[in-house]
Amino acid sequence: MQRTELFLSENGLRVASLDPVALLQAFSSEMTRGLGGAADALPMIPAFIAIDRPVPPDTRVAVIDAGGTNLRVATVWFDAHGKPHIEDLSRHRMPGTQGEVSAEVFFETLADLVAPLAARTAAVGFCFSYPAEITPDCDARLLCWTKQIQVPSVVNTMVGSGLRKQLVRRGLDRPVTVLNDTVATLLAGKSAGVARRYDSYVGLILGTGTNTAYVEQNANITKCRLLDPRGAMTINVESGSFSKAPRSRFDQLLDASLADCGSYTFEKMIAGAYLGSLGGTILKEGARAGLFTPATTQAMLDMPLPSSKDLDLFCHNPWLPPGSFAALPLSEDDRRTALELCLPIYTRAALFAAVNIAAAVIRTGAGADPLHPVAVTIDGSTYYRTLAASFASRIQGHLRSLLESRGLHYELLSVDEAPVIGAAVAGLIG
């Protein structure tokens, strides 16, 4: 075994020994337990959004998209052919990403940005990309923050009402429909793919955070007895909180340094908010273990943790070291060692992401007929922009082996600005 492989293996990072089918089974069984209401299983949150209602044409709706790092506002309208038109789009920092803010500042910031647009529309669609329990009237209670957002006083409060109250103060009483970004992405895929006649739908986000939504039969959502057992409901899985995937010592070290230690450990192995810090943690531990030349060792230990973007660029081309990597006196062997240490986090993330998607496709119970595949709409920068380890194509390879062997047909779709479009659909039909 190579030095680096032995080092990774001794620290519990052995991608080759992960069993995709066993992981898939573990993920599926946590989904089932979550549908039954087990508190320590996946949250499996009903979205309470109708996915079959027609979207009214030529009606403008205001949209707010509170994602991982960005907050975007826009207005959207659909033409008679169902084509969305996004206008007035502007991008801002998500409050709480640069130090702690109060709930009041949080909702005021959101309301200040969306008010000029809401003034020209009758409703607001609010894409809120955090774990939140949805009420039947599509308000949402924040369960906890993820992605290291710091607005603690919003936890346990209703975010739709919080925004609405601030809009009312500005003389704008508008209904606010809240939905998760995975649900919005699923809806965007549905509205874009009408002509293809899909059997069912999955939405995946793989960006700063990660998560899936899919369509479940109400009869299987045993924790919600009030639902019509003949119907179906979109479920926000909150996949990032899956806790049964094996973790390495590096994952534990990184997690221990974060304010929300112990929560969303799956997301911390997959998503853009963490891959850079995780790679940096492995490199520093490798330096401590003497895997680099002496000059690089010291510089590596002094280097700040890289951003996910820089780690990816470095792993893609270690001859053009970006950001803090540029200051390292890397020898040829050092570059090879760094690659051998970091590429496994991408190959592992790709496998975990595929397991997550496959579990959702299987649970839809659809896709057996090639005429009507399952539409899997994917959004997020980590999926589309990660260059290391041929990331997206690696996910696709795992998906093929997990799903084609079961005779399931699916199509991966990309819809530009899916969360904004999905939030518009929700605002119009909600």
- Footprint of ligand BGC on this chain (CB under 6 A)? 68, 129-131, 146-147, 180-182, 205, 207, 209-211, 238, 240, 267
Least Å from the CB of residue 87 to ligand BGC = 24
Q: What are φ and ψ of residue 345, in 5° steps?
A: -70, -30
Residue entry with tokens 């809240």 = 178
Q: Residue 63 or residue 330: which is nearer to ligand BGC going by CB?
A: 63
Q: Residue 180 or residue 277: which is nearer to ligand BGC going by CB?
A: 180
Least Å from the CB of residue 203 to ligand BGC = 9
Q: Residue 23 or residue 270: which is nearer to ligand BGC going by CB?
A: 270
Alpha-carbon distance of 74 to 72, in angstroms, equals 7
Q: What single DSSP character describes residue 304?
A: P
Least Å from the CB of residue 94 to ligand BGC = 11
Least Å from the CB of residue 392 to ligand BGC = 17
Alpha-carbon distance of 388 to 342, in angstroms, equals 9
Alpha-carbon distance of 208 to 271, in angstroms, equals 5
Which two tokens mark 33? 């337990």
Give the CB-nearest residue to ligand BGC.
209
Q: Residue 380 or residue 430: which is nearer to ligand BGC going by CB?
A: 380
Q: What single DSSP character describes residue 57?
A: T
Least Å from the CB of residue 353 to ligand BGC = 12
Q: Which of 127, 135, 128 is nearest to 45 (CA)?
A: 135
Q: Residue 11 or residue 265: which is nearer to ligand BGC going by CB?
A: 265
Least Å from the CB of residue 13 to ligand BGC = 23
Q: What angle do CA 319, 325, 326 make, to 5 degrees?
A: 70
Least Å from the CB of residue 407 to ligand BGC = 29
Alpha-carbon distance of 200 to 60, in angstroms, equals 28
Residue entry with tokens 């790092």 = 69
Neighbouring C-beta atoms of residue 400, cutoff 10 Å: 13
Q: What are φ and ψ of residue 164, in 5° steps?
A: -60, -40
Alpha-carbon distance of 372 to 367, in angstroms, equals 6
Which two tokens mark 107? 């909702």
Least Å from the CB of residue 129 to ligand BGC = 4
Contact predicate 189/375, CB 8 Å: yes
Which two tokens mark 126? 């609010």
Q: Residue 73 or residue 338: which is nearer to ligand BGC going by CB?
A: 73
365: exposed, middle or buried (Cβ count in 10 Å: 0-12, 13-18, 19+): middle
Which two tokens mark 148? 């290291």
Least Å from the CB of residue 214 to ligand BGC = 13
Alpha-carbon distance of 374 to 17, in angstroms, equals 30
Q: Which of 4, 18, 8, 33 is nearest to 237 (CA)?
A: 33
Alpha-carbon distance of 32 to 42, in angstroms, equals 9
Least Å from the CB of residue 422 to ligand BGC = 12
